[in-house]
Structure 1
Amino acid sequence: MPHRLLNPQTFAAIKDLRLVAKAVVDGFLLGQNQSIRRGAGIEFAQYRSYQPGDDLRQLDWKMFARSDRYYIRESEVDSSVAVRFVVDASGSMAHQDGDLSKLDYARFLVAALAYLATQQGDAVGLFILQENQLVQLAPQQGSQHMQRFFHQLSHVKPNGQFPAADRLAPVFARKRQREITVLVTDMYEQTTEISDTLRKIGAREKDTLLFHLMGRNELEFNYQGQLQFQDLETGQTLQLNPDTQREAYLQHLQTWLQALETETRKKQIHYERFHLHEPLDKALRAFLLSRARQ
């Protein structure tokens, strides 16, 4: 059951993002703690394993980092951090693999992480990036702020190209000493606009996570027959036979992916790649590890 709640296909038809987020987070934490037993080195006078319904503000991040398990700390919560979610909503995020688009997956991913962060007591902000507009909600706490957060995330539609880095000053503005930035994108760029943005974010903030979304059909290029492909941002079309191009495509793709991951990690940015049918536990785990370092 918990693993099913992490599968984006399970909740694709649910419109209430907050409900989706709560189900994902509860399923994830429950699944991680089903096999917890008492053992040496755990101070049970102060800690107990997470159970559904527990106040997530008492979840102990540092205990997670040490033990890879989720424990409730029956003491005061540490001071909060600000978590800035930066979401690519350019036209390429409309790419679909089955019933899900990249932007659908990004919605579920960001909603779950934001819910987890706010329940812990952190402030969350949302920056949705498109060619002709920038949706920005500065990191805050509170129920009204979260209503706006989920509303904006629910209603955004992919459109246009990724904006140039010089138009994104609000994304780079720093207001707190303790911040985490999460950039969710498919890294589809016309020149180097996303790479430039990532470089600026990485230079500004030591705790930056890049969640790179791709369709499994992109990763495997499992198309058949003579097809016409269209660039979702420029409208340009290309006719080709995938069977004759698959080997060369996959070689170029692996070269690009390896270079991207290497360059990202050189900048000390945490890199994770996801395909659109992949459960969300990897993203939640990466976020928790980053949060534990604060």
Structure 2
Amino acid sequence: MTGNPTPASGAPPHFGTGGPAAEALLRKLELTVRRRLDGLLQGDHLGLVPGSGSEAGDARTYHPGDDVRRMDWPVTARTQVPHVRETIADRELETWAVVDLSASLDFGTAGCEKRDLAVAGLAAVGHLTVRGGNRLGAIVTTGERVDRYPATPGRLAADRLLRAVVATPRASGGRRGDLAAALELLRRPPRRRGLVVVISDFLGDADWERPLRGLGARHELLAIEVLDPRELELTDVGLLTVVDPESGQTLEVPTGDAAFRRRFAEGAAAQRAEIAAGLRRAGAAHLRLRTDRDWLADVVRFVADRRRAGTGGASR
């Protein structure tokens, strides 16, 4: 169940598995990420980690919903107007990305594959976190292999990591990914506190929740869920033959049956709701990227919301 329609607005390019063409597409992606994120999110140090940080910043007028523990009493007494003390996000951050490139991500019907969207999400994470000595590392799992890239600082190191992830061989059909095992690799041995970003479609068994909750006890968590619109609802194209890439099972799907399409949509909605509930139980922030949407606009919106929440404003 694949397709090659006209790419959706804001869709990442199709990288394949490396080579000169992929290099050119990666350079284009990097320029796009840098231009869009720097242009729309200018200002203080940006981070995906929520919270106020520890370095003291400027005082500002109190707004309803601000954390009263950050009241700046000397300024309040001097001006007779309530003020709170803002803080600056901590600069030294170690970020680990767990990237799921199992066979179920080699699928897309709206301009790119979910695998391409996972790479694009990793590019955005790197751009937002790698600065000022921050480090970025990754664990990449396909179900057939697990590759570990140590956390290193610098933009060039992040670019090398992105290229290595793009060059990861695709998993053969009939092999299920093992996201839980990749998360366990990150749990043991314990690492310094930081940010853990999990990029996956979270399909299959929900055994990833327990190790993710374990990581949440020590780290800030961000889950980037990638999905395709055909995983949420079917269109009427008659009798359709589909193959589950992770089990190899072949199914005949009667998409011309309106009742079947309705049951499929209800089941898909319930599945996504359970995934979201599991991520909430683990304490993870949840960013959803779709192959038919402007994924960078969704990233910008998410980071802006987290930034407002981190200042202790009413949106928190």
| TM-score of the superposed pair, with normalisation by structure 1 | 0.74
User: How far has the Cα of 1:150 moved from its partner?
Assistant: 1.9
Contact kept in structure 2, 1:59 and 1:120, CA below 8 Å? no
Contact kept in structure 2, 1:84 and 1:139, CA below 8 Å? yes
Could you tell me which runs of 5 or more consecutive residues in structure 2 were left unpaired when the two chains were aligned: 1-8, 16-20, 53-87, 312-316
Question: Is it true that 1:195 corresponds to 2:209 in the alignment?
Answer: yes
User: How far has the Cα of 1:149 moved from its partner?
Assistant: 0.4
Letter in 2 for 1:133: R
Deviation by residue 1:207-229 (Cα, 9 ceiling, x = unmatched):
11111111012222225110111
Give the whole-Å Cα distance in 2 for the aligned partners of 1:259 and 1:164.
Answer: 17
Over 3 Å counting, the alpha-carbon distance change for 1:161 and 1:196 in structure 2 is farther
User: How far has the Cα of 1:146 moved from its partner?
Assistant: 2.7
Ranked by relative contact order (alpha carbons within 8 Å, sequence separation 6 or more), the top structure is 2
| TM-score of the superposed pair, with normalisation by structure 2 | 0.69
* Residue equivalent to 2:106: 94
Structure 1 segments of 4+ aligned residues over 4 angstroms from their partners = 11-14, 290-294
Give the whole-Å Cα distance in 1 for the aligned partners of 2:124 and 2:179.
Answer: 28
More helix, by proportion = 1
* Residue equivalent to 1:59: 45
Could you tell me which runs of 5 or more consecutive residues in structure 1 were left unpaired when the two chains were aligned: 1-5, 33-48, 51-57, 67-75
Q: How many residues are aligned here?
A: 254
Contact kept in structure 2, 1:61 and 1:292, CA below 8 Å? no
* Residue equivalent to 2:292: 277
Give the whole-Å Cα distance in 2 for the aligned partners of 1:123 and 1:248.
Answer: 45
Letter in 2 for 1:185: S
Letter in 2 for 1:220: E
Question: Is it true that 1:246 corresponds to 2:261 in the alignment?
Answer: yes
Give the whole-Å Cα distance in 2 for the aligned partners of 1:251 and 1:270.
Answer: 24
Letter in 1 for 2:168: V
Contact kept in structure 2, 1:209 and 1:270, CA below 8 Å? yes
Give the whole-Å Cα distance in 2 for the aligned partners of 1:168 and 1:227.
Answer: 35
Give the whole-Å Cα distance in 2 for the aligned partners of 1:82 and 1:60.
Answer: 14
**Larger radius of gyration between Structure 1 and Structure 2:** 2
* Residue equivalent to 2:119: 107
Query: C-alpha root-mean-square deviation of aligned residues, in Å?
Result: 3.3
Q: Determine which of 121, 124, 133 is the counterpart of 2:145.
A: 133
User: How far has the Cα of 1:116 moved from its partner?
Assistant: 2.6
Over 3 Å counting, the alpha-carbon distance change for 1:249 and 1:282 in structure 2 is same
- 1:199-238 to 2 correspondence within 5 Å? 199-205=213-219, 207-238=220-251
* Residue equivalent to 2:283: 268
User: How far has the Cα of 1:18 moved from its partner?
Assistant: 4.9
* Residue equivalent to 2:37: 28
